[in-house]
Amino acid sequence: MAYHQERYGKLVEDCDGAMRVHYQAKRGISLNPGAEASKAVSSAEVGLIVCQDYDLYQKWLMQWGLRENELALMRLNAVEERASDLSEVVKTHEIRF
């Protein structure tokens, strides 16, 4: 777990950010349809590729014996490492639109 924490944590953070941007773009197109909003959604969809990397790495870790509870702990550690206080933790998980 310790050996893979940094890379896994980075993938967790990147995927979380990509999902947030995608959600906001889809929300934006529903509120204000148009060419710009459509381009934003397309761009955000490309950004979700990092989630594929996250998923593949997670499956690889499971093949090497890590269980879901251990991966969950690694995800929490990744959030806590980058958050200095509760407001940072909330900011990490909050979906703003």
pLDDT at residue 53 is higher than 80: yes
- How far is it, in rounded angstroms, from Cα 92 to Cα 80? 10
- Tell me the average pLDDT across 41-59: 94
Q: Specify whether the CB–CB gap between 6 and 77 falls below 8 A.
A: no
pLDDT at residue 97 is higher than 60: no
Position 37 scores a pLDDT of 86
- Tell me the average pLDDT across 43-57: 94
- How far is it, in rounded angstroms, from Cα 56 to Cα 86? 30
pLDDT at residue 81 is higher than 70: yes
Q: If pLDDT is split at 50, 70 and 90, which confidence band does 72 have?
A: very high
Q: Over the Cα atoms of the chain, what is R_g?
A: 15
Position 4 scores a pLDDT of 92
Greater model confidence, 19 or 88: 19
Position 89 scores a pLDDT of 58
